[in-house]
Homo-oligomer: A and B are copies of this chain.
C-alpha cells in the first residue's frame, strides 16, 4: 500500500475518494547513495516517505554544510516552509544510502487540500507534530552541552550512529568532529 496514504491515516480519517486522489499523485523513486533529492532553490519541496534508506537535510553556511536533520524509514518528512509559503526550501536533501522513496509535490498537496478539505485535519496534526519535534530540538540546542546533545540524539535516533559518519553527526550537533570524537571516548 502507498506509504504516504498509510502515514496520513495515522493522523486522521481519509475518505476513499481522497485516497484515490493521493494515490494518483504519488511518485515513486529509487535513488543511489549520494544522490540529491532536492537542491535548494531549484525545486519546490514536498512531503515524502522513505520506504527504505536514509537521508539528511542540510544547508550551507560560510561555504560549509550544516546538517539539520536525518530521516529514517517509516516517517513522513518535508520542510514545512514551502508548504506554508509556496517558496522553495533553503535546505538540500541527500540520500546517505541507496533508497526507495514515495513523494508528493507541494503543488499537488495544496490542490488536494482544496479538493478534500478533510485533509486539513491531517495536515494540521502533522504540522503540530513537527512543532513538538522542533520545540524539543530548540531546547536541546538552547540548554544542553555538546555531550548532552549527543546523548539526546542516541535516545531519539539510536540507529543513526551505525549508519552515518561522525562528521555528519557532529555537524548536526553543532560541534566539530574532533570534539565529538573526544566526547565518545569519555
Contact = CB atoms under 8 A, between A and B. Distances in A.
A64 to B, nearest CB: 10
A43 interface: no
Interface in A145-186: 174
Contact of A131 (B61, B68, B127): B127
Contacts of A81: 131-132, 135
A18 interface: no
How many interface residues does chain A have, given as a range?
Answer: 20 to 34
Contact of A134 (B125, B138, B143): B138
Contacts of A80: 128, 131-132, 135
Interface in A118-148: 118, 120-121, 123-125, 127-132, 134-135, 137-139, 141-143
Main SS at interface, chain A? helix
A132 B85 contact: yes
Nearest to A113: B121
A174 B79 CA distance: 26
A127 B135 CA distance: 12
Contacts of A141: 138, 141-142, 174
A120 B12 CA distance: 12
A117 interface: yes
Given A117-B117, A141-B141, A131 B84 contact: yes
A142 B83 contact: no
B117 A84 contact: no
Nearest to A84: B128
A66 interface: yes
Contacts of A121: 113, 117, 120
